[in-house]
């Protein structure tokens, strides 16, 4: 998909401001902040359980009283989930998100291949684990906005009773997800910060619907590159330590291939993500990424490669991808690992 059309004026389907709240949300006392916009937007989203009474009560609350684990909705700040959704062809983004996509596309026109490669990897990994490994419970961290092929749809084709718990802290993601999942008793959505493993692992919904005495799948797909600093290995270690033996981890991360022409591509995108309004999006080396996969036995990614971390587009358990991989697509890597 060529995103050059994004540089034109926004289409009618691009959301440029927060959805218009109901009248009660328009009666704003002085000092209302983005935490109150959070309630107003979710109240107008079908399927999200918040009433006008709760909205009125929210008007008297301070920003610090936004529900635990949630980011307040700020339409003036781009969202990782909405930008990613836009690159995948979705329409649930604001003008501020479109501007980020335009900037990235201007410096790397093939950047969309990174998002596509990442999503394709997730889909193939889920099929592999559901069909061949027979795993029937999944914890999907940083799940993002719903797309055409979501984790629960993939794994429930193999097993209708497979359980999936999605975790995110973006209020738009939570609203869309809960509306979509209303009628699926084996799929649930949790509001939590995925970079605080204890909050996720001890969450009541997670504990109620996933059996930590049986193998499960932890998905951290395209998440840890949005964690600044060197805390990634510690975050992953805490998650992996909590998993029972025989569990799997599906993991992907922006990659600095350490090849001059490819590193240049990575650095151009990183500069926009890290030094722009999003504030995060690090491309790390293979060695740095491997440090987040310690304690796992990595699955053989295709018929010709040794077990390990590979470019996402080359993770095909039944054989190598036949189509060529673009330079941009070589800037994201993935692996599937089993906890012994």
Give 213-270 pLDDT, tens digit per residue. Answer: 999 999 999 999 999 999 999 999 999 999 999 999 999 999 999 999 999 999 999 9
Asked whether the whole model's pTM tops 0.95, one would answer: no
Distance, in Å, from the CA atom of 207 to the CA atom of 78, rounded to the nearest integer, reads 32
- According to DSSP, the residues that pair with 318 across neighbouring strands are none
pLDDT, tens only, 185-212: 999 999 999 999 999 999 999 999 999 9
Of 164, 216, 184, 3, give the one whose Cα is nearest residue 93: 3
pLDDT, tens only, 46-76: 333 333 333 333 333 333 333 444 455 566 7
* Residue 181 and residue 165 in contact, taking contact as beta carbons nearer than 8 Å: no
* Residue 49 and residue 43 in contact, taking contact as beta carbons nearer than 8 Å: no
Of the two residues 81 and 296, the one the predictor is more confident about is 296
Residue 160: count of CB within 10 angstroms of its CB = 9
Domain chopping of the chain, boundaries = 110-257+281-339
Q: For the residues of 270-325, what is the DSSP string, one character each?
A: HHHHHHSTT-----B-HHHHHTTSTT-EEPP-SSSSPSS-EEGGG--TTS--SSPP
What are all long-range contacts of 261-266, with beta carbons under 8 Å and residues at least 24 apart? 261/327, 262/327, 262/330, 262/331, 265/108, 265/327, 265/328, 265/331, 266/331
Q: Could you tell me the CA-to-CA distances from 231 to 68, 119, 258, 336 in Å, in that order?
A: 22, 24, 22, 20
* Residue 222 and residue 118 in contact, taking contact as beta carbons nearer than 8 Å: yes
Per-residue tokens: 31: 């000092």
Quick one: how far is CA 7 from the chain centroid?
25
pLDDT, tens only, 280-337: 899 999 999 999 999 999 999 988 788 999 999 999 987 777 788 999 999 999 999 9
pLDDT at 323: 80
* Residue 241 and residue 197 in contact, taking contact as beta carbons nearer than 8 Å: no
* Residue 163 and residue 137 in contact, taking contact as beta carbons nearer than 8 Å: yes
pLDDT at 288: 98
Per-residue tokens: 321: 């991808």
Of the two residues 72 and 87, the one the predictor is more confident about is 87
Domain 110-257+281-339 sits in CATH 3.30.2020.30: no
pLDDT at 325: 93
Per-residue tokens: 322: 């036949």
pLDDT at 230: 95
Q: Is 179 helix (H, G, I), strand (E, B) or coil?
A: helix
Per-residue tokens: 33: 């902040």
- According to DSSP, the residues that pair with 191 across neighbouring strands are 168
Distance, in Å, from the CA atom of 189 to the CA atom of 176, rounded to the nearest integer, reads 10
Q: Which residue has the tokens 């926009």?
A: 272
* Residue 173 and residue 194 in contact, taking contact as beta carbons nearer than 8 Å: no
pLDDT at 254: 97
DSSP at 227:
S
Distance, in Å, from the CA atom of 319 to the CA atom of 326, rounded to the nearest integer, reads 18
pLDDT, tens only, 180-190: 787 799 999 99
């Amino acid at each position: 998909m060529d995103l050059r059309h994004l540089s034109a004026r926004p289409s009618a389907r691009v959301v440029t401001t927060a959805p218009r709240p109901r009248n009660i949300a328009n009666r704003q006392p002085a000092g209302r902040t983005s935490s109150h916009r959070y309630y107003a937007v979710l109240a107008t989203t079908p399927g999200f359980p918040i009433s006008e009474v709760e909205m009125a009560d929210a008007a008297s609350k301070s920003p610090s009283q936004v529900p635990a684990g949630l980011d307040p909705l700020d339409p003036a700040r781009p969202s990782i989930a909405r930008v990613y959704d836009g690159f995948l062809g979705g329409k649930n983004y604001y003008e501020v998100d479109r501007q980020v996509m335009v900037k990235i596309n201007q410096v790397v026109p093939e950047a969309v291949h990174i998002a596509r490669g990442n999503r394709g990897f997730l889909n193939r990994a889920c099929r592999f684990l559901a069909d061949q490994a027979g795993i029937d419970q999944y914890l999907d961290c940083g799940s993002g906005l719903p797309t055409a092929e979501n984790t629960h749809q993939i794994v429930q084709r193999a097993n209708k009773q497979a359980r999936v718990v999605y975790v995110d802290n973006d209020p738009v993601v939570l609203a869309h997800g809960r509306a979509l999942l209303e009628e699926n008793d084996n799929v649930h959505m949790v509001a939590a910060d995925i970079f605080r493993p204890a909050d996720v692992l001890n969450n009541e919904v997670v504990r109620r619907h996933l059996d930590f005495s049986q193998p499960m799948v932890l998905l951290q797909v395209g998440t840890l590159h949005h964690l600044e600093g060197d805390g990634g290995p510690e975050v992953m270690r805490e998650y992996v330590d909590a998993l029972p033996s025989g569990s799997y981890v599906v993991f992907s991360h922006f990659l600095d291939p350490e090849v001059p022409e490819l590193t240049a591509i990575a650095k151009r995108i990183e500069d926009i993500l890290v030094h722009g309004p999003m504030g995060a999006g690090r491309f790390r080396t293979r060695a740095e990424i491997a440090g987040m996969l310690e304690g796992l036995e990595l699955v053989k990614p295709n018929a010709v490669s040794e077990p390990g971390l590979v470019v996402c587009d080359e993770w095909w358990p039944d054989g190598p991808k036949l189509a060529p991989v673009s330079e941009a697509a070589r800037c994201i890597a993935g692996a599937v690992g089993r906890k012994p």
